[in-house]
Amino acid sequence: MSRLAVRKTYKLYIGGAFPRSESGRTYEAEGQNVARASRKDARDAVQAARGAFAKWAGATPYNRGQVLYRLAEMMEQRSSDLARLCTGRREVERTIDRVVWYAGWADKLPQVLGGSNPVAGPYFNFTVPEPTGVVAIVAPDAPPLEGLVSRIAPAIVSGNAVVVVASETAPLAALELAETLATSDLPGGVVNLLTGFQAELAPVLASHMDVNAIDITGVTDGSSAELERLAAENVKRVVRAHDEQSPWEISAFLELKTVWHPVGT
């Protein structure tokens, strides 16, 4: 007796779980019905990111690096599945190598981006990098996996939590990555993935008062100026990628805190 195969249901990834869109809507992309996230889904994702932020930012840099390395291990195990949904195995290999590269920076950021400053007085003066908070990311369309991870990794390695609007036209690689994230050691809520229409979701995140920065690298509909205007309402940092792989991509999601301390006798 023949049987019907169990077809995959493509959902959102919010707070470490896989909910359907609260609106019940879907849209067709890459030959599949994909969840079409609503404004409420976006707000729920921000709430999940904010809830995860303190614990993730409070982890030691060494621990965050180890968690990202574990993610690379899980991606390696699922490399065949990921390769089917992007440009092939070479893209997956580059993406895994990029995760490992950023993992290695986790415990080196304070030395490179911070430091001890000379002052004219009996004080120590230190500059200490700290994560910005909740970061919204509009992922680029291509390459579908490498482009996505190239924006997520530099944001989370320093302790930020992110809400990502996946590629509208090629979202399946992001959804496969979500299943990898769910089985890694990354705490739920650190990365939240929304699928749907960029024009509907990006303005919600740009105007959300609990989002601290927005990465508009993947904006393709000419709305960058409007997103910047909305972001200005709570003085969000607006980020665009400059390099595919660089510590300066990490620094775009950091704040620098200056600490004064008297010199002891």
Residue 217 near residue 241, CB atoms below 8 Å: yes
Domain count, the chain: 1
| CATH for 65 | 3.40.605.10
In a domain, 14, yes or no: no
In a domain, 18, yes or no: no
pLDDT truncated to tens, each residue of the chain (265 aa)?
A: 788 888 889 999 999 999 999 999 999 999 999 999 999 999 999 999 999 999 999 999 999 999 999 999 999 999 999 999 999 999 999 999 999 999 999 999 988 988 888 888 888 888 999 999 999 999 999 999 999 999 999 999 999 999 999 999 999 999 999 999 999 999 999 999 999 999 999 999 999 999 999 999 999 889 999 999 999 999 999 999 988 799 999 999 999 998 888 887 5
- Sheet containing 123-131: give its strands across: 115-116, 123-131, 254-262
pTM: 0.94
In a domain, 10, yes or no: no
In a domain, 227, yes or no: yes
State which residues form the domain around 230. 26-262
In a domain, 6, yes or no: no
